[in-house]
Structure 1
Amino acid sequence: MFDHVVFGVSDYAASKAFYLAALAPLGIKLVAENELGIEMCGDDECSLCLFPTDEKPAHLHLAFRADNRAQVDAFYHAALAAGGIDHGAPGLRPKYSPNYYAAFVIAPDGHNVEVVCHKADG
């Protein structure tokens, strides 16, 4: 559905380090950086772009799709190691759907970053 998502961050260096580390388990990596900010992308060609701003951005909920539950777990641990704040450990969320396996972490600007796998375990 999306080609790219762009948003500002108040601490560019911290946010760049956080997103690159937290999303690495999903195969998302830096593809471009210039005076406008950074662009990160995975295999699906959809990109996430960050730019520095002096404004405190409104909080976002960003949800990334994982291929398997191990990627959800790896995201969670990488995000916490990169300075994220726990907002929901990896686990099933049956109130959303029977196989909704997700983890949630608060990023440097307070954004709620989620990684979800919709596939049954195994």
Structure 2
Amino acid sequence: MIDHIGIKVADFERAKAFYDRAMEPLGASLLMMVPPEYTDGVKVGGYGRDRPVFWLTEGAPAGEPKHVAFTANTREEVDAFHKAALEAGGRDNGAPGPRPHYHADYYGAFVFDPDGNNVEAVCHRPA
């Protein structure tokens, strides 16, 4: 149902460094930077696996921090995402593990990104 989503980040280069590391275990990477002539010089970049679906835009984040969950294909990817995100400067917000209160096969991990957004990797497949 959702085609793509974006968030504003206070320090684009710091956020890019974080997401470059955190997305790698999920098989995602920065796929596109919008040319500055289309953004009035604001840095805008899109992450994804086969097309950009998660966008970072340079600027003051508006309102409360956001929650974004990324699909992992395996529980091992969730574990690797959490480890990479912490190594990239994220703060732990929930170690990898089952979350049966969501559903029986829900396995997720949560971190706060450099702007305080709650970023999650989740696998819905049975163990």
TM-score (norm: length of structure 2) = 0.88
What residue in structure 2 maps to residue 22 of structure 1? Answer: 22
What residue in structure 2 maps to residue 103 of structure 1? Answer: 109
Instruction: Point out where structure 2 has 5 or more consecutive residues left out of the alignment.
Output: 37-42
Alignment of 1:53-72 (within 5 A): 53=59, 55-57=60-62, 58-72=64-78
What residue in structure 2 maps to residue 87 of structure 1? Answer: 93
| 1:85-120 residue CA offsets vs partner (Å, 9 max, x unmatched) | 000000001111111100000001100000111111
Instruction: Point out where structure 1 has 5 or more consecutive residues left out of the alignment.
Output: none
Tell me the SS of whatever aligns to 1:15: helix
1:56 deviation in Å? 3.3
What residue in structure 2 maps to residue 115 of structure 1? Answer: 121
Does the Cα contact within 8 Å between 1:22 and 1:82 map onto a contact in 2? yes
Tell me the SS of whatever aligns to 2:30: strand
**Paired residues, what number?**
119
> Which of the numbers 33, 42, 57 marks the counterpart of 1:51?
57
| 1:30-58 residue CA offsets vs partner (Å, 9 max, x unmatched) | 11123341111113x351111110x2333
What residue in structure 2 maps to residue 42 of structure 1? Answer: 49
Does the Cα contact within 8 Å between 2:32 and 2:52 map onto a contact in 1? no
Tell me the SS of whatever aligns to 2:61: coil
Instruction: Provide the alpha-carbon RMSD of the alignment.
Output: 1.2
Write the letter of the residue equivalent to 2:89: G
Take 1:56 and 1:2, find their aligned partners in 2: how far apart are those partners?
Answer: 21
> Which of the numbers 65, 77, 83 marks the counterpart of 1:77?
83
TM-score (norm: length of structure 1) = 0.91
Moved over 6 A (4+): none
Does the Cα contact within 8 Å between 1:3 and 1:46 map onto a contact in 2? no
Write the letter of the residue equivalent to 2:61: K
